[in-house]
């Protein structure tokens, strides 16, 4: 045991007055050494008392554990200790002179996604433990995804048990590369990798002499210094009214915790629901009136005018309003044994409101291990999906990505009162496909007076379709596509090439390379191809289109009967050796984030209409093969 962390009581008093709070969550598979790590952090920070340690030794012996089992510290329930499993989120506390830490320790078992989400909901940071001997597992990816989904902005990947792999840098680097390839698709701005041995104490509290090649901080110093002040939203003033405080005729105040932003006396505020404006007259606390209140503070606001305001109303700045309405989109983590089905009645707890409503649509389910989207008719326990919600009374909300308080909601069963799930609201503006879908419900297509055969006489294309070329960057898609277009035009068949780079310069110039943007990119292209096909043109589309789910979407939009999927199958090594645009070199240097094949995945088509092996066929031969396929369809 180390000496006291503080030199005098004055030190301690000052430290505790000034110390801030970091909440983090830990997760890992059963034997990743999570309990050992927590035990070590607690022990080295003197958060385990002698009698607790003695009880631990006693329990370990009684339960026939070979060594002192630190998991018994956090496994508080009888069933957990007896079965050697963690059932529920356990909260543990320790502190250093700089910070107070709250650990939400969540079980690593696959079926307990809901506990991970629960622990992550209040955490600033997540620690993901990876066993150096086993590398990145499904579980490690899943936890990263859930942390990202719940808005955690700081991820620490601890590659544990480095002592068992000889403290080899290569092992650490390989795991880092593996996990980075996956994490490029997550929305986590701060990702740190630390090689540790929780058992031996390497890089946990102090830098280890066993890994001189590692030049980053040890885990505890990192936890002490990681900057979380910027995570809070201090821009958008939001104040969900919790209750009206009216002890007598002279005082009427609105109690609540500032969800985000800052407010001062004299500031103009708007009641979002009614649009009525007033000014803040006073900010009342037990310790006297204050000139201002900011995110996180629980205060009581006195207002200049007597407006109709009650619990569930939201006060905000007039320059910057939250959304207000009955409909919203959300990612949902389902936590009930009974699956979620669209249409079922649900009570939503959102800020301080409790409103009735329903899930109107289940758009898709996300596979947390691959991040693939799957169509689904229901969401089972521990499944994650994208839904549209309908509240029967309007709520004032923000996107979860911008505001973890006003963007979160909990779903409650109105009959059993069980907590069913958790939702993270999504800003519609970045998801235009919903708007389009919503519109198509009300718009009837006009039928044309021109028959397809009449168009075919002009365009020379008897059965217009889209040849969709997919493959890695540098696989030869564009070369083949251009030749194909040339051949078709030469045969007096009106063909048009939609090419990735060209589309991104115009139609899709507002889109980046995040997963959502890539999907939207493909959606617009598919819609365009479908229109061109309607117009009687032969379309050639050449896009990397790395995700199977996106290609499936394209097939749906264009129509399965007029889409020909051609897989330009060129091995990564060949593409990289060619590197026509120098992109691979830049991606390897870390200059391009989420580059397909390097730091982002390419999901090869399983059953393409045609597979072209460019190591065996020339571009001309490839064009011939595609033309043969087109001819066979026209017969």
Partner 1 sequence: MDDYKQSNLEQLEAESIHIIREVVAEMERPVMLYSIGKDSSVMVHLARKAFHPAPIPFPLLHVDTGLKFPEMIAFRDSFCRTIGANLIVFNSGEGEQTAANPWDWGTVKCCGALKTQGLLTALREGRYDAAFGGARRDEEKSRAKERIFSFRDKHGQWDPKNQRPELWNLYNPRLDPGESIRVFPLSNWTELDVWHYIHLESIPVVPMYFAARRDVVVRDHLLIPVIDRARLPPGQVVETLECRFRTLGCWPCTGAIRSSARTVREIIQEMMTVRHSERITRIIDHDQDSSMEQKKREGYF
Q: Of residues 112-171, which lie at the interface with partner 1 (CB under 8 A)? A: 114-115, 117-118, 121-122
Stretch that binds partner 1, among 93-101, 157-165, 513-521, 620-628 (CB under 8 A): 93-101
The residue among 95 and 139 lying less far from partner 1, judged by its C-beta, is 95
Name the β-bridge partners of 251. Answer: 248
Residue-wise burial string across 219-256, b where 16 or more C-beta atoms lie within 10 A, e elsewhere: bbbbbeebebeeebbeebbbbbbbeeeeeeeeeebbbb
**Minimal CA–CA distance to 253: which of 179, 303, 314, 184?**
303
Binding residues among 279-298 for partner 1 as defined by CB under 8 A: 284-287, 294-298
Grouping H, G, I as helix, E, B as strand and the rest as coil, residue 519 is helix
Stretch that binds partner 1, among 217-225, 255-263, 517-525, 615-623 (CB under 8 A): 255-263
Choose which of 16, 206, 360, 486 interacts with partner 1 (CB under 8 A): 16
**Residue 505 beta carbon to partner 1: minimum distance, rounded to whole angstroms:** 39
Choose which of 83, 91, 264, 341 interacts with partner 1 (CB under 8 A): 91
Token duo for residue 193: 């990798």
**Minimal CA–CA distance to 147: which of 171, 168, 119?**
119
Site string for partner 1, 295-314 (x = CB under 8 A): xxxx-x----------x---
The residue among 311 and 455 lying less far from partner 1, judged by its C-beta, is 311
18 binds partner 1 (CB under 8 A): yes
**Minimal CA–CA distance to 619: which of 573, 585, 578?**
578
Stretch that binds partner 1, among 69-77, 467-475, 561-569, 624-632 (CB under 8 A): 69-77
Site string for partner 1, 353-392 (x = CB under 8 A): -x--------------------------------------
19 binds partner 1 (CB under 8 A): yes
Name the β-bridge partners of 23. Answer: 102
Binding residues among 421-450 for partner 1 as defined by CB under 8 A: 422
Choose which of 57, 93, 166, 275 interacts with partner 1 (CB under 8 A): 93
92 binds partner 1 (CB under 8 A): yes
Token duo for residue 398: 């923000």
Distance CA 130, CA 288 (A): 50
Binding residues among 27-66 for partner 1 as defined by CB under 8 A: 49-52, 55, 59, 62
257 binds partner 1 (CB under 8 A): yes
**Residue 204 beta carbon to partner 1: minimum distance, rounded to whole angstroms:** 21
Whether 545 sits among the annotated catalytic residues: the reply is yes
Start-end of H helices in 240-358: none
The residue among 265 and 297 lying less far from partner 1, judged by its C-beta, is 297
**Minimal CA–CA distance to 124: which of 1, 245, 296?**
296
Distance CA 419, CA 338 (A): 11
**Residue 164 beta carbon to partner 1: minimum distance, rounded to whole angstroms:** 30
The residue among 282 and 514 lying less far from partner 1, judged by its C-beta, is 282
- Kindly state the number of chain residues that form the binding site for partner 1, as judged by CB under 8 A: 84
Grouping H, G, I as helix, E, B as strand and the rest as coil, residue 186 is coil
286: exposed, middle or buried (C-beta count within 10 Å: 0-12, 13-18, 19+)?
Answer: exposed
Distance CA 290, CA 304 (A): 16
Tell me how crowded residue 534 is: count the other CB atoms within 10 A of its CB: 14
**Minimal CA–CA distance to 394: which of 235, 271, 308, 280?**
271
**Minimal CA–CA distance to 348: which of 397, 384, 381, 305?**
397
Binding residues among 209-248 for partner 1 as defined by CB under 8 A: 229-230, 232, 234, 242-243, 245-247
Q: Are 396 and 348 in contact (CB under 8 A)?
A: no
The residue among 121 and 570 lying less far from partner 1, judged by its C-beta, is 121
Q: Which one of 197, 336, 545, 549 is the catalytic residue?
A: 545
**Residue 631 beta carbon to partner 1: minimum distance, rounded to whole angstroms:** 58
* Residues involved in catalysis: 545
């Amino acid at each position: 045991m180390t000496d006291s962390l503080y030199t005098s009581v004055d030190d301690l008093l000052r430290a505790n007055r000034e110390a801030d709070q970091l909440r983090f969550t830990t997760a890992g598979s059963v034997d990743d050494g999570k309990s050992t790590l927590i035990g070590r952090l607690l022990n080295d920070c003197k958060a385990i008392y002698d009698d607790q340690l003695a009880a631990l030794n006693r329990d370990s012996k009684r339960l026939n554990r070979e060594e002192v089992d630190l998991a018994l510290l956090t496994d508080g329930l009888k069933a957990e200790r007896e079965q050697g499993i963690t059932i529920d989120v356990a909260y543990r506390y320790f502190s250093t002179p700089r910070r107070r830490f709250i650990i939400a320790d969540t079980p690593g078992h696959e079926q307990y996604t809901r506990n991970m989400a629960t622990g992550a909901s209040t955490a600033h940071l997540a620690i993901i433990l990876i066993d150096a001997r086993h590398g990145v597992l499904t579980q490690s990816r899943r936890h990263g995804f859930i942390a990202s989904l719940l808005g955690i902005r700081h991820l620490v990947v601890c590659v544990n048990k480095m002592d068992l792999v000889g403290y080899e840098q290569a092992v650490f680097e390989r795991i880092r590369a593996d996990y980075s390839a996956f994490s490029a698709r997550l929305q986590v701005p701060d990702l740190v990798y630390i090689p540790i041995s929780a058992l031996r104490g390497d890089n946990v509290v102090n830098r280890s002499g066993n890994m001189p090649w590692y030049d980053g901080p040890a885990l505890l110093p990192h936890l002490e210094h990681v900057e979380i002040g910027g995570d809070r939203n201090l821009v958008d003033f939001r104040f969900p009214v919790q209750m009206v405080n009216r002890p007598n005729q002279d005082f009427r105040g609105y109690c609540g915790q500032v969800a985000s932003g800052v407010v001062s006396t004299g500031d103009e505020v708007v009641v979002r629901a009614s649009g009525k404006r007033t000014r803040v007259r006073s900010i009342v606390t037990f310790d006297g009136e204050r000139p201002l209140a900011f995110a996180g503070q629980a205060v009581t606001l006195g207002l200049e005018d007597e407006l109709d305001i009650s619990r569930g109303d939201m006060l905000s700045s007039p320059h910057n309003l939250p959304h207000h309405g009955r409909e919203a989109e959300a990612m949902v983590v389902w936590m009930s044994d009974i699956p979620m089905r669209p249409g079922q009645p649900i009570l939503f707890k959102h800020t301080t409101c409790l409103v009735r409503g329903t899930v109107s649509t289940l758009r898709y389910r996300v596979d947390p291990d691959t991040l693939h989207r799957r169509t689904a008719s229901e969401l089972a326990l521990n499944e994650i999906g994208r839904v549209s919600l309908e509240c029967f009374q309007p709520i004032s909300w923000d996107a979860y990505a911008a505001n973890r308080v006003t963007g979160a909601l909990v779903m409650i069963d109105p009959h059993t009162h069980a907590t069913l799930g958790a939702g993270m609201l999504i800003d519609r503006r970045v998801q235009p496909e919903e708007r389009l879908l919503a519109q198509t419900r009300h718009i009837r297509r006009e039928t044309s007076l021109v028959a397809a055969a009449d168009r075919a006489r002009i365009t020379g294309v008897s059965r217009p379709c889209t040849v969709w070329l997919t493959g890695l960057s540098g696989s030869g898609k564009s070369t083949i596509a251009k030749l194909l277009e040339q051949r078709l035009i030469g045969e007096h068949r009106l063909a048009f090439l939609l090419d990735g780079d060209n589309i991104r310069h115009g139609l899709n110039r507002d889109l980046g390379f995040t997963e959502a943007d890539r999907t939207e990119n493909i959606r617009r292209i598919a819609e365009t191809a479908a229109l061109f096909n309607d117009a009687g043109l032969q379309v050639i589309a050449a896009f990397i289109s790395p995700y199977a789910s996106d290609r499936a979407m394209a097939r749906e939009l264009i129509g399965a009967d007029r889409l020909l999927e051609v897989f330009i199958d060129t091995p990564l090594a060949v593409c990289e050796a060619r590197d026509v645009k120098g992109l691979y070199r830049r991606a390897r240097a870390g200059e391009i984030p989420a580059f397909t094949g390097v730091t982002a995945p390419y999901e090869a088509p399983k059953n393409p209409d045609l597979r072209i092996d460019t190591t065996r066929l020339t571009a001309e031969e490839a064009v011939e093969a595609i033309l043969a396929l087109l001819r066979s369809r026209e017969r």
